[in-house]
A and B are shown apart, each in its own frame.
Chain A
């Protein structure tokens, strides 16, 4: 989704020409945690893989029903049936306490912030 007009011409073209975008995500920051909210309708807990390695959060989904889809007769086919994958970088995260919930097709990942600011005193 466009956030500014810096690359307006390329952004418009990309938006109009690309057939499949990956799942939509909102990212919020509060004083004690980051929240990543991803729209993943039609996926259950087993199809969604969430990893956090160093500073990178990776959310990926595998599509399980590709076999039947090729045989069915589709009048309209818009849903993204590929494997999808998105990554985000977060610093200062309290890794063991990352939590994720899935509700009504919305994945909500909470990454608590671990403040590492140290005050150094001059002797």
Chain B
């Protein structure tokens, strides 16, 4: 068929423009806010909050957990070991990101000293116990 022949039989016209922008898509998406945030489930129980954050492939030492002013901050730094794979050979498909991650969550009414955290199977589980409710001083107001 005529329209399948290469014009002028020149390989210049064979170039697929999307090959020039191969990395463009990935870089474009990495800028999207929230695209790279730590996936988390946060449950509220009667006496505590449970935070389950996905942090696969990190070393415990590289995970930073802080609680200040009612804000819980989870920060994870990637160790360079992950980049070793790049030198091993060709990348056929790459979806994982190798950047550092950080995310903050707000929790009111938390007993800071009772916060516990564990890192297992690539999951960071944080338990934030709620402060005991003070006796609510509701009093009847007499109407004169």
Contact = CB atoms under 8 A, between A and B. Distances in A.
Interface of A: 1-6, 8, 11, 15, 24-31, 34-35, 37, 39-44, 72-80, 103-106
Nearest to B58: A104
B88 A104 contact: no
B83 to A, nearest CB: 11
Contacts of A80: 39
Main secondary structure on B side of the interface with A: mixed
Contact of B18 (A1, A6, A24, A105): A6
Interface residues of B, number: 41
Given A1-B26, A25-B96, A39-B57, 15 more contacts: A1-B25, A1-B95, A25-B93, A27-B94, A37-B96, A39-B54, A40-B122, A41-B54, A41-B55, A41-B123, A42-B122, A44-B121, A73-B45, A75-B44, A78-B39
Given A1-B26, A4-B21, A76-B40, A29 B92 contact: yes
Contact of B88 (A35, A73, A105): A35
A35 B21 CA distance: 25
B92 A27 contact: yes
> What 6 A-B pairs are tightest by C-beta distance, nearest first?
A105-B122, A30-B89, A41-B122, A2-B25, A105-B56, A76-B42
Contact of A4 (B18, B42, B57): B18
Contacts of A43: 121
B84 to A, nearest CB: 10
B89 A28 contact: yes
B56 A40 contact: yes
Contacts of A1: 25-26, 29, 94-95
Nearest to A88: B93
Contact of A104 (B26, B45, B56): B56
B43 to A, nearest CB: 5
A26 B26 contact: no
A77 B43 CA distance: 8
B41 A78 contact: yes
